Amino acid sequence: VGGMAAVADSEALAALHKVFGYDAFRGEQEAVIEHVVAGGDAVVLMPTGGGKSLCYQIPALVRPGTGIVVSPLIALMQDQVDALRALGVRAGFVNSTQDFDERRVVEAEFLAGELDLLYLAPERLRLDATLDLLSRGKISVFAIDEAHCVSQWGHDFRPDYLTLSLLGERWPDVPRIALTATATRATHQELTQRLNMPTARHFVASFDRPNIQYRIVPKADPKKQLLSFLREEHAGDAGIVYCLSRKSVESTAEFLTRNGIEAVPYHAGLDAGTRAAHQSRFLREDGLVVVATIAFGMGIDKPDVRFVAHLDLPKSVEGYYQETGRAGRDGLPSTAWMAYGLNDVVQQRKLIQSGEGDEAFRRRAAAHLDAMLALCETARCRRGQLLAYFGQDPDPAGCGNCDTCLTPPETWDGTIAAQKVLSTVVRLQRERGQKFGAVQIVDILLGKRTGKVIQFDHDQLSVFGIGQELTEGEWRGVVRQLLAQGLLAVEGEYGTLVLTEASGAVLRREREVPLRKEPKKPVSAGAGSSS
Ligand code: ADP
Ligand code: ZN
């Protein structure tokens, strides 16, 4: 066996040099490739940019037959295949964007043994015609890309992936390799089970991206905050700014352009030509900023993205990690910067409640949001929290390259403040049968006689004006953190505040509520450039 492995090894190395033009394998690549070339199943967890593609491309070249790559990213298949063909690899794809004739050509090449790699969308494997086609050719390896899509608890579930468990039953002698860049401990286990790969070897690369500095600042005037962040730290750099809505994508791109920063919008509402033009400008030009919805970035392989900025809260830690991971693939210092505020929490909670999907779907979405909020509100190392989320043990001493390590946030005993907020919510509900949003609650605490306060006689409440010791911004911070900690909840389309089961313990003084102090000023620019 040792001799066999050595031969396969040298063939793999030859392919690496000759086909791909690289000197050496990176990280786990060599071990993965050796294992798969020898016929073993593998589950590979490697962050974006880690080099997952070679892990199946080289076995496909070395082993006899065609490597079948299952990928949900239909839009990227053409590019991937073109890139491989340019290297002299015989690659093709079959998906719904092709007409009958184009598909026939690729199928014929496969049957004639003229393909090294064949890319397929997962939904094709539901078709008997596809399974039939595959049984008539010779397959070297099955690669299941974006394997986390099989997990129902993950953030990107695709039902078609559930059919992939049949591959092992129908082709027991063909090695399978499942790859993903986002897997928590739970998703990792689930995907192994659902893909039916009990004997697979697991290769887990570190998810740490030490050159990325993580920073999350309280949102005040997000566009202006973004502008000074860019001016002070990333003038002339290429980067991506993520916004939730198309409208804010457009207005942010305009705002940056007006302020002398070259920026283009990217979202699904733009026509395909404009999107392609903006994407290729981003790849080609130096220092262009793309303002985008999450539609942008899948498969973007630009090494010198110096920053990724979020003006809105991502829906999950997996999403945040994937999006920020597009920064600094060249290993040079880069920044993941996010502005986050009370409205983000209220909005996302509302979205989950009023959104489509059954109860289980909502529970899952809420759990993902909770993990994201915990990351935002942590007073500990952000990187540590991220790594722990992905099942890795972080350095207990902190990373020294995130905002909480660089400028440790002060915490304070927010128990009394929390009680004040919660009892205002209780009073409104018990005494008046009313529910209100955060703005009204804060106005009542501050004793502000606004139109709406007068209209509802809220200046007659016993809690009116009992919160003069904090500023408006600080009260919003308290409410935000209570929401994040699950001590307060949002309800209905107006985002009214209501108690949770956990609120009672605070009101009864049975538990304390440590809170993060709101910085007077966002974490200052250049905080990391000294280290
Ligand atoms: P992933 O799929 O894990 O996000 P890719 O397979 O796209 O990562 O690889 C990321 C980048 O690293 C690509 O530009 C790829 O060509 C490059 N790369 C991968 N392996 C090596 C290697 N052994 N040596 C040099 N560059 C590599
Ligand atoms: Zn840190």
Say what the pLDDT of residue 48 is. Answer: 77
Report yes or no: 226 and 339 within 8 Å, Cβ to Cβ. yes
Compute the distance between CA of residue 36 and CA of residue 178 in angstroms, rounded to an integer. 11
**Helix (H/G/I), strand (E/B), else coil: 356:** coil
Residue 238 Cα distances to 251, 283, 333, 486, angstroms: 19, 9, 13, 38
Residue 56 Cβ < 6 Å to ligand 1 = no
d(CA 150, CA 189): 11
Ligand lying closest to the C-alpha of residue 17: 1
Instruction: Supply the residue whose CA is at minimum distance from atom 26 of ligand 1.
Output: 22
**Whether the CB of 79 sits within 6 Å of ligand 1:** no
Residue nearest to ligand 1 atom 19, measured at CA: 51
ipTM of the complex: 0.98
Cβ atoms of 66 and 40 within 8 Å: the answer is: no
Does ligand 1 come within 6 angstroms of the Cβ of 473?
A: no
Q: What pLDDT was estimated at residue 526?
A: 37
Ligand 1 atom nearest to CA at 55:
6
CA of 342 to the centre of ligand 2 (A): 23
**What is the structure's pLDDT at 480?**
87
Residue 223 exposure: Cα atoms within 13 Å on the Cβ side: 14
Please tell me if the CB atom of residue 54 comes closer than 6 angstroms to any atom of ligand 1. Answer: yes
Give the per-residue pLDDT at 226. Answer: 98
Q: Indicate if ligand 1 lies below 6 Å from the C-beta of 48.
A: yes
- φ/ψ of 163, rounded to 5, equals -75, -10
Query: In DSSP terms, which residues pair with 67 in a beta bridge?
Result: 117, 141
| Token pair 């902190």 in the structure block, residue | 398
What pLDDT does residue 529 have?
34
367-378 pLDDT per residue, tens: 889 889 989 998
* Side chain identity, residue 260: G
Cα of 403 vs centre of ligand 2, distance in Å, is 7
Residue 511 Cβ inside 6 Å of ligand 1? The answer reads: no
According to the model, what pLDDT value does residue 8 have?
64
Amino acid of residue 17: H
Closest to 509 in 3D by CA, of 429, 411, 418, 412: 418
pLDDT of residue 381: 93
* Residue minimizing CA distance to atom 5 of ligand 1: 51
How crowded is residue 292: how many other Cβ atoms within 10 Å of its Cβ? 27
pLDDT < 50 regions, the chain:
1-2, 522-531
**Residues 244/144/138/59 CA torsion (nearest 10 deg):** 110
DSSP letter (8 states) at residue 519: P
Q: What is the SS3 assignment for 211?
A: coil
If you write DSSP's letter for every residue of 455-497 in order, what string do you get?
HTTGGGSTTTTTTTTS-HHHHHHHHHHHHHTTSEEEETTTTEE
Give the residue among 219, 291, 225 at the shortest CA–CA distance from 252: 291
Position 389 scores a pLDDT of 85
pTM: 0.79
Which of 26, 73, 179, 283 for a ligand 1 pocket mutation test, highest count of atoms within 8 Å of Cβ? 26
Neighbours of ion ligand 2 (CB under 5 A): 381, 383, 398-399, 402, 405
Cβ-contact 121, 74 below 8 angstroms = yes
List, in order, residues 6 or more apart from 478 with CB less than 8 Å away: 414, 417, 418, 421, 470, 515
Write the secondary structure of 91-148 as one string of H (helix), E (strand) and C (coil).
EEEECCCCCHHHHHHHHHHHHCCCCCEEEECHHHHHCHHHHHHHHHCCEEEEEECCHH
Q: Tell me, in angstroms, the distance from the centre of ligand 1 to residue 145's CA.
A: 14
Nearest-CA residue for atom 9 of ligand 1: 51
Quick one: pLDDT at residue 483? Answer: 87
